[in-house]
Chain A
Amino acid sequence: MLQVDGLTKAFGGFVAVNQVSFAVAPAEILGLIGPNGSGKSTIFNLVSGTLSPTAGSIRFEGQEIAGRPASEIVHRGLARTFQIPRPFRKLPILENVAVAAYFGRNGRIDRGTAVERARAALALVGLPGDPDARTDGLGAAGLKKLELARALATQPRLLLADESLGGLDHGEMQQAAEMLRRVRGEMGITIVWVEHIMGVLMKVVDRVMVLHHGETVAEGLPADVVRDPRVIEVYLGRGHAGA
């Protein structure tokens, strides 16, 4: 479904993502983990068209999308959330999602249908309350749900979820994990999920890829990856490897 080869991004002289390759199969949930600054969000920015890669190829459903405009990539069925929520503060909550429903399908649906889909997406992520309220009243958990509702409203086949559940309480984290499981299970949407809190992530994903300094360190089943000495080294420091 998604095939990434030799993906590289340099910011000036600093290489944030270096020769990363991976593939995502249909209806899979791939976990993407790694310490702060390892390049996870940058990979999402590259795949979603927010940034252009320095080198490498990104194929989505067989088509090359590297360097294509972000809006075009959404129209092809690939949506993303932002780690730090970026709500449209001028628009009410429902309209935030309705623009995504409408323009995510490139205006091929009418406004009424877009609003209907927006309501459905808000219900799915569990964002109750007044849909005509502004986004200012939403807390951290609410803004994360709004991000997810907006991405889902574009009706993607592949979702890049830059979640970072940090800041949420235990119950909210379980809810978020449960929701991603449902998105895949009930809607058949393939997911790449970035998350720091590994306990939650490992229970949901089919496969994990570990990044460090912009390079792939390990890849495989969650149970194998957590025992991989290279991964332990990345997370706990040199002295612990092989201990």
Chain B
Amino acid sequence: MKAGWPLLGAALLLPPFLPISDYTLHIIILVLLWAFVYTSWTIMGRFGLVSLGHGAFLGLGTYVTALLWNHYGLTPWAGIPLGVVVAVAVALVIGYPCSRLKVVGHYFALVTLALTEVVRLSIVAWRDVTGGSLGMTPNAVPPESIVALQFTKFTWYWVALGVWALGLVVWHRVDRSMTRSAMDAIADDETAAAAVGINVTLQKLLVTTVSAALTAFGGALIGQYQMYINPDTMAGVGVSLQIVFAAISGGMYVILGPTVGAILTIVLQEFLRVLFGTRCIGAAATIYGIMLIVFIIFMPAGICGVIVARMRKRRAVAAAAPAAG
């Protein structure tokens, strides 16, 4: 496994140079960008903070960036940080009272669900500015513009790869931090956690901030890449459910779990699109919902969780065998 990482890293440098179709490269870029968003969700989701509100952060990141660009000509280099700041502010406004009032579990999911719909409905209602449910397109400039953050697929691949790697680095750092232990303790017993000196609200807001900020960043980049955003695909309950499904099915406790979840959801999405065309836009959300339930019941650790458990078992058996023989 240790040897696997450099190998994986080398393999990831290849796609843009391979004789693959533009479409395949497009799918790979989408997988990387969405994997970043899913990884960002698990940074809080793995600690029992099951947010159905990440569609809100995604939407805020992407719409703030695109609106500032279209209406004020503000470069995404400034627009994205502002989108992130707005998303974090909203996360704190919701997160702080949730923590103080001990809103956890199902209630937390419900509050965040309401948040994501509020953001979606606001985008729809503010039609004159946002284009409403028809969505909007960032004003295009000739590609390979650093100022406008608009590139060809070749360049986008490297951007997506870098951002995806950044997500893994952050995930890993949180995984090794004392905050992870604190959050596990909080998930077990908030009262006992506070009694050993853990500031419960501070720790929760810490992971919430990181998770919301990265999600907004990911949303903004997806908008820049697709050059089209829509309140139904970038905010609201549909995309929130997609995020939760991908993170849980891939595995929230393993670094590459959300990436596997991204491969699964993007391939599924494309498959459904080819199969039904645009007639069944709602089909995906329904299927996510059903599959989410199936995973939660039969495979709560997700695909990667099961694989890691199998590998551990095999290694343990292998280690015990020579001693026995």
Contacts and interface: CB of A to CB of B under 8 A. Distances in A.
A105 B197 contact: yes
A91 B195 contact: no
A99 B199 CA distance: 12
B152 to A, nearest CB: 44
B187 A90 contact: yes
B185 to A, nearest CB: 4
B193 A80 contact: no
Given A90-B185, A91-B185, A74 B178 contact: no
Interface string B167-197: 0000000000010011011011101111111
Interface in A32-91: 48-50, 69-72, 74-75, 79-80, 82, 86-91
Contacts of B200: 71
Nearest to B185: A88
A154 B185 contact: no
A150 interface: yes
B184 A103 contact: no
B198 interface: yes
B198 A86 contact: no
Given A103-B182, A114-B178, A69 B188 contact: no
Nearest to B189: A86
A31 B200 CA distance: 31
Contact of A150 (B182, B187, B196): B196
B80 to A, nearest CB: 31
15 contacts: A50-B194, A70-B191, A71-B197, A74-B196, A87-B188, A87-B192, A88-B188, A88-B189, A90-B185, A99-B198, A102-B178, A104-B197, A111-B178, A150-B196, A153-B196
A89 B194 CA distance: 16
B197 A75 contact: yes
A229 B196 CA distance: 40
Contacts of A50: 191, 194-195
Contacts of B192: 82, 86-88
A69 B99 CA distance: 13
B207 to A, nearest CB: 15
Interface residues of A, number: 35
Contacts of A174: none
A175 interface: no
B197 A91 contact: no
A100 B196 contact: yes
A20 to B, nearest CB: 21
**Which DSSP category, helix, strand, loop or mixed, fits chain B's interface?**
helix
A103 B198 contact: yes
Contacts of B185: 88, 90-91, 96, 99
B50 to A, nearest CB: 16
A99 B182 contact: yes
A75 B196 CA distance: 9
Interface of B: 178, 181-182, 184-185, 187-189, 191-200
Given A69-B199, A71-B199, A91 B184 contact: yes
Contacts of A104: 196-197
Contact of B178 (A71, A88, A103, A153): A103
Contacts of A159: none
Contacts of B188: 87-91
A154 to B, nearest CB: 6
Contacts of A87: 188, 192
B194 A70 contact: yes
B199 A91 contact: no
A163 interface: no
Given A50-B195, A104-B196, 11 more contacts: A71-B199, A74-B195, A86-B191, A86-B192, A89-B188, A99-B181, A100-B196, A102-B178, A103-B178, A107-B178, A151-B196
Contacts of A99: 178, 181-182, 185, 193, 196, 198
A98 B178 CA distance: 9
A87 B185 CA distance: 9
B91 to A, nearest CB: 22
Contacts of B196: 74, 79, 99-100, 103-104, 150-151, 153-154
B312 to A, nearest CB: 14
Contacts of B197: 71, 74-75, 100, 103-106, 154
A240 B176 CA distance: 62
A38 B54 CA distance: 48
A215 interface: no
Interface string A141-165: 0000000001101100000000000
Contacts of A95: 181
Nearest to B195: A70
B98 to A, nearest CB: 17
A153 B193 CA distance: 13
Contact of B194 (A69, A91, A107): A69
Interface centre among A75, A90, A153, A154 (most CB of B within 10 A): A90
Contacts of B182: 99, 103
A70 B188 CA distance: 17
B193 A88 contact: yes
A69 B199 CA distance: 8
Nearest to B196: A100
